[in-house]
Amino acid sequence: MIADDDEKWLAAAIAAVKQNAFYMQRAIDSNNLKDALKFSAQMLSELRTSKLSPHKYYELYMRVFNELGTLEIFFKEETGRGCSIAELYELVQHAGNILPRLYLLCTIGSVYIKSKDVTATDILKDLVEMCRAVQHPLRGLFLRSYLAQVTRDKLPSIGSDLEGDGDAHMNALEFVLQNFTEMNKLWVRMQHQGPSREKEKREKERNELRDLVGKNLHVLSQLEGVDLGIYRDTVLPRILEQVVNCKDELAQCYLMDCIIQVFPDDFHLQTLDVLLGACPQLQPSVDIKTVLSGLMERLSNYAASSVEALPNFLQVEAFSKLNYAIGKVVEAQADLPAAASVTLYLFLLKFTLHVYSDRLDYVDQVLGSCVTQLSATGKLCDDKAAKQIVAFLSAPLEKYNNVVTILKLTNYPLVMEYLDRETNKAMAIILVQSVFKNNTHIATADEVDALFELAKGLMKDFDGTIDDEIDEEDFQEEQNLVARLVNKLYIDDPEEMSKIIFTVRKHIVAGGPKRLPLTIPPLVFSALKLIRRLRGGDENPFGDDASATPKRILQLLSETVEVLSDVSAPDLALRLYLQCAQAANNCELETVAYEFFTKAYLLYEEEISDSKAQVTALRLIIGTLQRMRVFNVENRDTLTHKATGYSARLLRKPDQCRAVYECAHLFWADECENLKDGERVVLCLKRAQRIADAVQQMANASRGTSSTGSVSLYVELLNKYLYFLEKGNQQVTGDTIKSLAELIKSETKKVESGAEPFINSTLRYIEFQRQQEDGGMNEKYEKIKMEWFE
Partner 1 sequence: MNYLLGAFKPACNISITFTDGKNRKQVPTKKDNGQIVMNPLFQSQETIAGKINIEPYQGKKVEHNGVKVELLGQIEMYFDRGNFYDFTSLVREIDVPGEIYERKTYPFEFSSVEMPYETYNGVNVRLRYVLKVTVTRGYAGSIVEYQDFVVRNYVPLPPINNSIKMEVGIEDCLHIEFEYNKSKYHLKDVILGKIYFLLVRIKIKNMDLEIRRRESTGAGANTHVETETLAKFELMDGAPVRGESIPVRVFLTPYDLTPTHKNINNKFSVKYYLNLVLVDEEDRRYFKQQEITLYRLKEETS
**Binding interface with partner 1 (CB under 8 A):** 48, 90, 93-94, 96-99, 101, 129-130, 132-137, 139-140, 185, 189
Write down the least CB distance from residue 177 to partner 1, Å.
18
Q: Which is nearer to partner 1, 94 or 641 (CB)?
A: 94
Q: How far apart are CA 25 and CA 30, in angstroms?
A: 9
Helices 472-488 and 516-536, interaxial angle, to 10°?
Answer: 20
Q: Which is nearer to partner 1, 186 or 455 (CB)?
A: 186
Q: Which is nearer to partner 1, 191 or 424 (CB)?
A: 191
Residue 490 Ramachandran class (φ > 0 left, ψ -120 to 50 alpha, else beta): beta
Q: Which is nearer to partner 1, 140 or 368 (CB)?
A: 140
Write down the least CB distance from residue 138 to partner 1, Å.
9
Sign of the torsion angle spanned by Cα atoms 674, 679, 685, 688:
negative
**What is the DSSP secondary structure assignment for residue 165, as one 8-state letter?**
S
Q: How far apart are CA 666 and CA 675, in angstroms?
A: 9
Phi first, then psi, for residue 676 (nearest 5°) are -130, 85
Q: How far apart are CA 739 and CA 741, in angstroms?
A: 5
Nearest to 416 by CA among 348, 367, 363: 367
Q: How far apart are CA 443 and CA 405, in angstroms?
A: 12
Q: Which is nearer to partner 1, 124 or 134 (CB)?
A: 134
CA torsion 649→650→652→658, rounded to 10°?
-100
Q: How far apart are CA 523 and CA 37, in angstroms?
A: 93
Please answer whether residues 120 and 154 qualify as being in contact, where contact means their C-beta atoms are separated by less than 8 angstroms: yes
Q: Which is nearer to partner 1, 100 or 511 (CB)?
A: 100
Question: Within 13 Å and on the Cβ side, how many CA atoms surround 630?
Answer: 18
Q: Which is nearer to partner 1, 97 or 410 (CB)?
A: 97
Question: For the chain, how far is it from start to end, CA to CA, in angstroms?
Answer: 112
Q: Which is nearer to partner 1, 88 or 622 (CB)?
A: 88
Q: How far apart are CA 368 and CA 370, in angstroms?
A: 5
Write down the least CB distance from residue 139 to partner 1, Å.
6
Q: How far apart are CA 23 and CA 324, in angstroms?
A: 63
Q: How far apart are CA 298 and CA 264, in angstroms?
A: 10
Q: Which is nearer to partner 1, 95 or 459 (CB)?
A: 95
CA torsion 484→485→486→488, rounded to 10°?
90
Q: Which is nearer to partner 1, 108 or 501 (CB)?
A: 108
Write down the least CB distance from residue 324 to partner 1, Å.
34
* Neighbour tally for 496: CB within 10 Å: 16
- ∠108-111-115 over CA atoms, to 5°? 135
**What is the DSSP secondary structure assignment for residue 440, as one 8-state letter?**
P
Please answer whether residues 186 and 209 qualify as being in contact, where contact means their C-beta atoms are separated by less than 8 angstroms: no
Write down the least CB distance from residue 331 to partner 1, Å.
32
Write down the least CB distance from residue 121 to partner 1, Å.
17
Write down the least CB distance from residue 85 to partner 1, Å.
16
* Neighbour tally for 779: CB within 10 Å: 10
Q: Which is nearer to partner 1, 89 or 362 (CB)?
A: 89
Q: Which is nearer to partner 1, 85 or 574 (CB)?
A: 85
Q: What is the chain's alpha carbon radius of gyration, rounded to the nearest angstrom?
A: 46
Write down the least CB distance from residue 112 to partner 1, Å.
15
Q: Which is nearer to partner 1, 34 or 749 (CB)?
A: 34
Q: Residue 634 corresponds to which amino acid?
A: E
Write down the least CB distance from residue 189 to partner 1, Å.
7
Question: Within 13 Å and on the Cβ side, how many CA atoms surround 94?
Answer: 7
Please answer whether residues 240 and 275 qualify as being in contact, where contact means their C-beta atoms are separated by less than 8 angstroms: yes
Q: Which is nearer to partner 1, 151 or 341 (CB)?
A: 151
Write down the least CB distance from residue 1 to partner 1, Å.
22
Find the length of the chain.
Answer: 790
Q: How far apart are CA 486 and CA 477, in angstroms?
A: 14
Q: Which is nearer to partner 1, 97 or 700 (CB)?
A: 97
Please answer whether residues 182 and 144 qualify as being in contact, where contact means their C-beta atoms are separated by less than 8 angstroms: yes
Write down the least CB distance from residue 89 to partner 1, Å.
11
Q: How far apart are CA 560 and CA 647, in angstroms?
A: 28
Q: Which is nearer to partner 1, 33 or 430 (CB)?
A: 33
Q: Which is nearer to partner 1, 192 or 750 (CB)?
A: 192
Please answer whether residues 179 and 128 qualify as being in contact, where contact means their C-beta atoms are separated by less than 8 angstroms: yes
Count Cβ atoms within 10 A of the Cβ of residue 787 and give its class: 0-12 exposed, 13-18 middle, 19 or more buried. exposed
Q: How far apart are CA 547 and CA 503, in angstroms?
A: 13
Phi first, then psi, for residue 668 (nearest 5°) are -140, 115
Q: Residue 157 corresponds to which amino acid?
A: S
Cβ partners under 8 Å of residue 714, min gap 6: 689, 692, 696, 740, 743, 744, 747
Write down the least CB distance from residue 130 to partner 1, Å.
6
Write down the least CB distance from residue 96 to partner 1, Å.
6
**What is the DSSP secondary structure assignment for residue 248, as one 8-state letter?**
-
Q: Which is nearer to partner 1, 97 or 609 (CB)?
A: 97
Please answer whether residues 614 and 659 qualify as being in contact, where contact means their C-beta atoms are separated by less than 8 angstroms: no
Widest pairwise Cα distance in the chain:
143
